[in-house]
Structure 1
Amino acid sequence: MLKPEIDSLVPHVPFDRRTFLKAALGTGFAAAVLPVSAQTIHTDAEGLDAGEVGFESNGTLIPAYRAQPRGKTHLPVIVVVHEAFGVHEHIADVCRRFAKLGYLAVAPDLFVREGDASAYPTIQQIDQNILSKVPDAQAMSDLDATVAWAGQHGGDPKRLGINGFCWGGRIAWLYAEHNPRMRAAVSWYGRVAGQHTQTMPENPLDLAGELQVPVLGLYGRQDQGIPQDTLAQMKQAIAQGPQGGRGSEFVVYDDAGHAFFADYRPSYRKADAEDAWRRTLAWFSGHGVA
């Protein structure tokens, strides 16, 4: 994938074909999830400033989708971390949902160096060509750059939260362990344990003793990819950490599987998704991200 020249960087740049040779971020759905469900939610951008922006992280121009109330500043910030499918329409919609409630929501493309996840027709190909190649340390650095950008463009860095789905749910755990200045985090079906690799040397469970940020973990009991015993281990490890388990919480929906919030997929469970969304908003509000 062609990348823009870093020399053309400015602090806040809406993207166009001259600066980023790729379909607009946050438009359309990833090939691996087509056809999308008829129940797919669409949130309009009325009253919002919404669209692509860009900022630098370690010499690379990171594209991001952001949405925020038009004309307002000093806004609470939610960093939205995408799933395996990248920053496609669903992630942009989630940003707009947060923005409608008064947040500056920004979703950086954490795959920009590895390629375009939305172009691959199967999750197996995304895993092989994208996910396995993204270093955790690189993701943490890109999220640091995201937070810095938000603080310079209408966001209040003292009211900072992170919300991640699936692959991004694991990243949300890691960033909560990485950045103790955050107020709160929400991980939707984010894996906490698993294989150690060169790009993923540590999992959230390995770093649980460092966690100082309250995390809400939202999971489905029928999720075959996240064994319940790993969540039990995570709870125990958090309890032995500096906060003594205070502040973090796990909610497990008995009949839900993986991706139960993904309204564009057959895995969507409306009642559980709506309950989890209410809990998410209450979590951020209750921890000062509002």
Structure 2
Amino acid sequence: MRDPDFINFQPTKFNRREFVMTTLATGFAAAVQPVSAQTQITTDTAGLTAGEVKIPAKGGDMPAYRAMPANGKNLPTVLVVQEIFGVHEHIKDVCRRFAKLGYLAIAPELYARQGDVAGKGMDDIRKVVAQVPDAQVMGDLDDSAAWAAKNGGDPNKLAITGFCWGGRITWLYAAHNPKLKAGVAWYGRVEGAGTELQPKNPMDVVTSINAPVLGLYGGQDAGIPVEGVMKFKAALAAAGKKAEFVVYPDSPHAFHADYRPSYREKDAKDGWSKLLAWFKQNGVA
């Protein structure tokens, strides 16, 4: 089965500038239904300020989900980058998990100019996501970090984590923002052919990566071969970059997604523990 964040739809030239999606979707994306209710984790909002916010960005106000300790100030900040399915309930819950641990977590809807993927099937989702320029995503993450710094976050303690589509973005953002303290990429694509709007993959920006990044991958991921991950690891080491990798031998793609059959509880929990330790080790927490 092909990795769902792999996009082979060829985009047309990006020319939209205004947001077409003005609010976040509720619940889970249609493409991941039915949800595995027995394993789905739900984090409450007790003691938190949590919900949708609007972030000033190029073209208008971008919807995002923000969670933080109530009345928190100078909080370590983590940008949470969505799976290919957008900012649906799982991504929101990840934000609340971070907030319970003292972070300001924010997940911007990075497809908001191109459309809402919540009600679409995989083929239509790929067509939307293929229209999202990497340059736009980098700018929107910068704007999200700037918003967080003005709303309770500490700009000197900025981290990023992303899943699936967002795993690739995590590596790219580590090469984009020199102020980033640390990143954790969950099963993000590391190599492949570029397109007009997504011209480079992590393998192409090895020498530009600024922040320490931890990569968490599944040994049974049919769309991201372990051989490619190891080649990327070697390239980072050769370039003198601080990066570590954990490959869970028996896990498939999306092993952290507790609402899907791909979820592997033991490896997901271990990865989460390693993420928290990585952030602490690198001056975020």
**Do both share a fold (TM > 0.5)?**
yes
Query: What residue identity is the alignment partner of 1:227?
Result: P
- Say whether the 8 Å CA contact 1:26–1:92 is kept in structure 2: no
How far apart are residue 227 of structure 1 and its match?
1.3
Q: 1:27 — aligned with what?
A: 26
1:118 aligns with 2:118: yes
How far apart are residue 21 of structure 1 and its match?
5.6
Question: What is the aligned counterpart of 1:282 among 252, 258, 277?
Answer: 277
Query: What residue identity is the alignment partner of 1:249?
Result: E
Query: What residue identity is the alignment partner of 1:284?
Result: F
Q: 1:146 — aligned with what?
A: 144
Query: What residue identity is the alignment partner of 1:154?
Result: G
1:127 aligns with 2:126: yes
How far apart are residue 119 of structure 1 and its match?
1.2
Q: 2:179 — aligned with what?
A: 181
- Partner Cα separation in structure 1 for residue 134 and residue 46 of structure 2: 35
- The answer to which of 229-238 and 98-107 deviates more is 229-238
Q: Deviations over 1:70-97 (max 9, x none)?
A: 0110000000000011000000000000
1:267 aligns with 2:266: no
- Partner Cα separation in structure 2 for residue 79 and residue 261 of structure 1: 17
Change (3 A) 1:111 1:21: closer
- CA-based RMSD: 1.7
Change (3 A) 1:21 1:55: closer
Q: 2:76 — aligned with what?
A: 76
- For the residue of structure 2 that corresponds to 1:116, the secondary structure is coil
Q: Identity percentage over the alignment? A: 56
How far apart are residue 240 of structure 1 and its match?
2.6
How far apart are residue 59 of structure 1 and its match?
2.3
Query: What residue identity is the alignment partner of 2:280?
Result: S
Question: What is the aligned counterpart of 1:231 among 199, 210, 229?
Answer: 229
- For the residue of structure 1 that corresponds to 2:157, the secondary structure is strand
For structure 2, list consecutive stretches of 5 or more residues without a partner in the other structure. Answer: 1-15
Q: 1:248 — aligned with what?
A: 243
Q: Deviations over 1:235-265 (max 9, x none)?
A: 1221232xx13x3100000000100000000
Question: What is the aligned counterpart of 1:257 among 252, 255, 259?
Answer: 252
Q: 2:92 — aligned with what?
A: 92
- Say whether the 8 Å CA contact 1:187–1:216 is kept in structure 2: yes
- Partner Cα separation in structure 2 for residue 289 and residue 126 of structure 1: 33
How far apart are residue 212 of structure 1 and its match?
2.2
Q: 1:55 — aligned with what?
A: 55
How far apart are residue 60 of structure 1 and its match?
2.5
- For the residue of structure 2 that corresponds to 1:201, the secondary structure is coil
Scaled by the length of structure 2, the TM-score of the pair is 0.91
Query: What residue identity is the alignment partner of 2:258?
Result: D
Question: What is the aligned counterpart of 1:157 among 155, 158, 164?
Answer: 155
- Partner Cα separation in structure 1 for residue 27 and residue 94 of structure 2: 14
- Partner Cα separation in structure 2 for residue 81 and residue 20 of structure 1: 17
How far apart are residue 27 of structure 1 and its match?
2.9
Change (3 A) 1:180 1:20: closer
- Partner Cα separation in structure 2 for residue 173 and residue 159 of structure 1: 18
- Say whether the 8 Å CA contact 2:187–2:216 is kept in structure 1: yes
For structure 1, list consecutive stretches of 5 or more residues without a partner in the other structure. Answer: 7-18
